[in-house]
Structure 1
Amino acid sequence: MSAPIRIGIVGTGGIARVHADNIAKLGDQAVIVGAVDVDPERLAGFQAEFGVEAGYGSLEELLAQGKPDIVHLCTPPGLHKEQALVALAAGVDVLSEKPPALSLAEIDELVAAEQASGAHFATVSQHRFGGRAKWLRERLADGRLGRPFVAVCNTLWYRPDSYFDVPWRGNWAIEGGGPTMGHGIHQLDTLLSILGPWSEVVAVSARQARPVATEDLSTAIVTFENGAVATVVNSLLSPRETSYLRFDFEFATVELEHLYGYGDDNWKITPAPGHEEEVEALWAEGPHGNSGHAAQFREVIVAREQGLPLPVETASARRTLELIAGIYASSFTGARVATGDIDADSPFYTSMEGSGAPWREALVAAE
C-alpha cells in the first residue's frame, strides 16, 4: 500500500474547511501535514478543529519544514498565481481553488512554470467528478444520445450588499471579476467538460445593484465546435437560488438542478418520443455518485500514483478562463469573440476588465 499523500493547506478560511472535511473522507490515503495563514488566531482555530499539528506563517515555511507532496491553495483568488509559482519552483504539486488565475496571462505563466519544474498544477472543479457528469461525457463520446443541440447553463445566486464588505470581493484586481469569474465558473466549467471546445461567444454584462466595480450579472450565447448552442446566465441578484444545467440531445433531454453540489437525485432525463426504451436502459447503466471535493481528490491521488497530470489540468482550466475572458470582451466591446481572439495584444489577455467596464467612469465620478 502506498504511503499517504502529504497535503499542505494554504489559507484557513471557509473553503479550507471544506478541503479538510473532504480530505478526512480519504482515510489513510491522505494526511494534512501543515496549514498556513497570516492570521495566527484563525490558524490556531483551524489546527484545533482538524487536528493539524503544524502551523506556519508562510508558504515558504510549509514547503521547507512540512515537506508536502501537494499544496491546496484555499486563499483569495488574487494570491493563487504567486503562491503556485513558489510551490512549483520548489517542485511541489499544486491544487488551486477557482479561479486558478486572474487572467489568461497569469494561467500562461503557470503553464510555463509547470513545464519548467516538472511538478503539476491543477484546479479544483469538483462538479466534473460526479457520476452523472462522467456519464454524460461518455455519451458525447459514444453518441448514444445522438447529437447535442441546445444547452442551458445558469448560475442564479443571491449575494446581499453585505457580502461585499470583504475587501477583495467585487474587485477586478483581487477577485478577477464578478459572478462570471467567481461563481458561474463552476457551471461553465462543467458545461465545457461535457460539450467540449467552444468556438464563439456573444455576451452582455451589467452592474445592476451591488456596490462593486465588477458586474453582478452577465448573459451569453456560446457556440460549440460540435454545433451545440448554449445560453448562459451568471447572477448574484436572484432570490430563488439555483445552479441549473440542461442538455438537449437528439434522443433525450438531461437536466441537473442543485445549488452547491449534486447527487444522483439532482439529475433528470426525459427521452424523446420513440426513444424511451433505449434511453431508460442507458440511464440505468450509470456511473453514479455525488460531486464534491472528495471525488476530485481521489482522482488526484490516482493521477499522482500513475504519474499523470493532475485533474483538472492547466490546458483544460485555461479553456474555461478563455471563455470567461471572451464573455467579458464581448460584453464590453459589443463584438463576437472567437477562440484564439484574445491574444497577448488584447487588453483582455492581462485583465478580465480589459478595455474597461462600461460603468467604470460612473464609479470613478461617484468616488
Structure 2
Amino acid sequence: MSVKNVAIVGLGIGKSHIEEAYSKQPELFRVAAICDLNEARLAEIGDAYGIARRTTSFDEVLAMQDIDIVDVCTPPGLHFEQIVASLKAGKHVICEKPLVGSLAQIDEVAAVERQSRGRVMPIFQYRFGNGFQKAKLLVDSGIAGRPYVATAETFWTRGAAYYSVPWRGKVATELGGALLTHAIHIHDMLCGLIGDIESVAADAITRVNTIEVEDCAVAALRMTNGALASLAVTLGSSREMSRLHIAFENVTMESSHAPYSPGDEPWTFIPANDEAKARIEEAFASFEPVPRRFAGQMLRYHAALDAGTDFPVTLADARRSLELITALYASSDTGQRIRLPIAAGHDRYANWTRRG
C-alpha cells in the first residue's frame, strides 16, 4: 500500500477534503501541494496543515513531477479544462461536482482518459454513510425487491450572502442552479438505489434569489424498470433538509434528514412482512460500517488505485448525473417530456442551458 501525493486546486470545498479525509488518512495520502488564487487562504490552510508548497499557478501544479493526484475543487466552469490538462500531464484526477459542463465534455474526458496514464474519479461523497450503504446492500442483494415509487427532496437555504461570491448564480461560471449544484447529490443517491431513468418532465424557476440560474424546481421521472420518482428542490426553505423516501416491493426506506449528510444513519427500514424482516436483519448482522463522506470515498478510492479496479464513483456515474441534468433543463425550457439516453446529435448534448 503506497502513499499517494495529492495537489489540491481550490481551497473552498478543497479544505473539506483535507479536514475530512486526507488529514485523517496519512497512511494513504499526503497533501504535497495546494493551489488557490487567494494567497491569504493559501497561507491559512498551508500553515494549519503543514503544507509547504503553495502556489497560485495551476500550470505549476501540473509540472510537479512527484504529484500523483490532482484534486480539482475549483468553480464548475473550470473543471473540464483542468481535468483534461491534468490527464495529459499524466496525473490521476479527483474532481468535485458537477464534473463538467455538458455531455459532450464528459464524453471527451472519457476519450482523453482512455489515452492517458491517469484516471478520473468524480466526487459524490453523500453515498458514503452507513445509512445509504445499508440501503444499497438491500437493493444489490435483491432483498428490497422491485422499486415502486420514490421521492427525493432538497430543501436548503441560500440567500444573498451565498450568492455574493462572484462566480455563483451565473450560467457561465456555475453552469446551473439548485438542480445542478445542490440537489445533484440526492439525485445521484436516488439513481443509485432505483436505477436508470427512461424519461423526465420538469419545471424550474428562479423565485428566491435575484440570480441567473434556478433556485426552485420539481420533476417527475419514469425509470427504465418502471418505477416512478418525484424530485423537489428549493433554496428558500426555512428548515434545511435532504430526504429520500422509497417504496420497494419488500421494504419501504427513508433516509436521514440531515441536509448535508443524508447518507448517514439513522435510516428507517420498514419490512413488508416477517420474511422480509428476517432477511433484512440477517443482512445487517454482517454489515461492515464505512467511514462517512469524503473519508469513505477516499478510502475506497485508494484501494481501487492500488488494485487497478473500478473507482467507487465512476465516469459512468457522473455521466448519468449530467444526463439527468440535461434532461431536466431541456424539459423545463421546452415544456416537453424528455426521453433518455441523450447522445451526440441531441440539441442539448453540447450545452444543457440552451438549444443548439
* AA at the equivalent of 2:86: A
Please show how residues 1-367 of structure 1 align to structure 2 within 5 Å. Answer: 2-13=1-12, 15-21=13-19, 22-65=21-64, 67-257=66-256, 258-262=258-262, 265-274=265-274, 275-340=276-341, 342-355=342-355
Contact kept, 8 Å, 1:23 with 1:30, in 2: the verdict is yes
Instruction: Supply the distance in 1 between the matched residues of 2:264 and 2:164 (Cα, whole angstroms).
Output: 36
Give the number of the structure whose residues are more often helix, by fraction: 1
Q: Secondary structure at the match of 1:161?
A: coil
Residue 161 of structure 1: CA displacement?
2.3
Q: Secondary structure at the match of 1:55?
A: strand
1:264 to 1:157, Cα distance in 2 relative to 1, 3 A: closer
Instruction: Supply the distance in 1 between the matched residues of 2:131 and 2:43 (Cα, whole angstroms).
Output: 39
Instruction: Supply the distance in 1 between the matched residues of 2:347 and 2:163 (Cα, whole angstroms).
Output: 26
Cα deviation 1:200-219 (Å, max 9, x = unaligned)? 11111111131111111111
Contact kept, 8 Å, 1:332 with 1:355, in 2: the verdict is no
Instruction: Supply the distance in 2 between the matched residues of 1:242 and 1:264 (Cα, whole angstroms).
Output: 13
Contact kept, 8 Å, 1:199 with 1:225, in 2: the verdict is yes
Instruction: Supply the distance in 2 between the matched residues of 1:265 and 1:128 (Cα, whole angstroms).
Output: 12
Residue 159 of structure 1: CA displacement?
0.6
- Fraction of identical pairs, as percent: 35
Instruction: Supply the distance in 1 between the matched residues of 2:280 and 2:61 (Cα, whole angstroms).
Output: 51
Instruction: Supply the distance in 1 between the matched residues of 2:65 and 2:37 (Cα, whole angstroms).
Output: 17
Contact kept, 8 Å, 1:4 with 1:29, in 2: the verdict is yes
Contact kept, 8 Å, 1:251 with 1:279, in 2: the verdict is no
Residue 281 of structure 1: CA displacement?
4.0
Contact kept, 8 Å, 1:77 with 1:98, in 2: the verdict is yes
Cα deviation 1:160-193 (Å, max 9, x = unaligned)? 1231111211111111100100000010111112
Instruction: Supply the distance in 2 between the matched residues of 1:290 and 1:233 (Cα, whole angstroms).
Output: 28
- Structure 2: 5+ residue stretches without partners: none
Residue 65 of structure 1: CA displacement?
2.6
Q: Secondary structure at the match of 1:305?
A: helix
- Structure 1: 5+ residue stretches without partners: 357-367
1:254 to 1:261, Cα distance in 2 relative to 1, 3 A: same
Cα deviation 1:56-96 (Å, max 9, x = unaligned)? 22122122235211111111111111111110001101000
Contact kept, 8 Å, 2:187 with 2:321, in 1: the verdict is yes
1:47 to 1:264, Cα distance in 2 relative to 1, 3 A: closer
Contact kept, 8 Å, 2:149 with 2:227, in 1: the verdict is yes
TM-score (norm 1): 0.91
Q: Secondary structure at the match of 1:253?
A: strand
Contact kept, 8 Å, 2:152 with 2:232, in 1: the verdict is yes
TM-score (norm 2): 0.94
Q: Secondary structure at the match of 1:332?
A: helix
Q: Greater CA deviation, 73-82 or 191-200?
A: 191-200
Contact kept, 8 Å, 2:149 with 2:246, in 1: the verdict is yes
Partner of residue 361, structure 1: none
Contact kept, 8 Å, 1:120 with 1:309, in 2: the verdict is no
Cα deviation 1:252-292 (Å, max 9, x = unaligned)? 11111221114653311122255444444444443434531
RMSD over aligned CA atoms reads: 1.8
Cα deviation 1:97-137 (Å, max 9, x = unaligned)? 11111111221221111112131011110122223323323
Instruction: Supply the distance in 1 between the matched residues of 2:103 and 2:57 (Cα, whole angstroms).
Output: 27
* AA at the equivalent of 1:191: L
* AA at the equivalent of 1:17: K
Contact kept, 8 Å, 1:33 with 1:66, in 2: the verdict is no
